[in-house]
Amino acid sequence: MTKEPIEFFFDFISPYGWFAAERIGALARCRGRTVAWRPILLGVTVRQAMGLPPLLETPLKGPYLIHDAARSARLYGLPWRPPSPMIFSSVAAARAIIWANVRGNIDVEALALALYRRAWAEGQDIATPDAVADVAASISLDGTQVRAALESPGVKDGLRTTVASAIERGVFGSPFIIADGEPFWGSDRLDMVERWLDGGW
């Protein structure tokens, strides 16, 4: 059996991405795997690649998702204090993950969870580069270095490439997991991912 990284695609504007982010690390470690953290931008995917309106603005589905996200947080035992407004730019936060991936020797999972929690468990802004640098500093990364990296052409380009490549590979939601080539969409599919990794069915 191969031991390739589990590819975890997520957008910081997606609370379902957060719910899965809280579990994917342990799920991988239990199986001797690592996680490749791949930030995407649903705005690009949903609007441009799929031609759909933003999820929260979709009639019937939008109100359901807001209700379901709060309920799901309770089920998962996570604090729930969403940012206001719930739709914000996740570009800076996504760039921080790109930077961390390239930089190396960084606990990307810790950074991703710190950003997610700041937004969805504390209801704080993570849309600005300063806010993202502040979150990075809160987990002992060099805030000044992170702040500078968010404006770096290499990092900006890295995010564009990551988003485009995800779309090319069929990724259309958050979270989206590719495990040994098999695609899984949704935080409620982690059990299925586990079964797949443990031998399929």
Position 192 contacts its own copies (CB under 8 A): yes
CB of 174 to its own copies, least distance (A): 13
Position 74 contacts its own copies (CB under 8 A): yes
Query: Residues 6 or more apart from 168 whose CB is under 8 A from it?
Result: none
Position 199 contacts its own copies (CB under 8 A): no
Residue 32, number of CB atoms within 10 A of its CB: 8
Residue 113, number of CB atoms within 10 A of its CB: 17
Number of residues that bind its own copies (CB under 8 A): 29
State the burial class of residue 187 (Cβ atoms within 10 Å of its Cβ: 0-12, 13-18, 19+): buried
Residue labelled with tokens 């342990």: 26
CB of 81 to its own copies, least distance (A): 18
CB of 6 to its own copies, least distance (A): 17
Position 80 contacts its own copies (CB under 8 A): no
Q: In the structure, how many helices (H) and strands (E) does the chain have?
A: 9, 4
Of 66 and 87, the one with the shorter C-beta distance to its own copies is: 66
Position 45 contacts its own copies (CB under 8 A): yes
Question: 98: closest CA among 88, 108, 110, 113?
Answer: 108
Binding site for its own copies (CB under 8 A): 45, 49-53, 58-61, 63-64, 67-68, 74-75, 167, 170-173, 183, 185-186, 188-189, 192, 195, 201
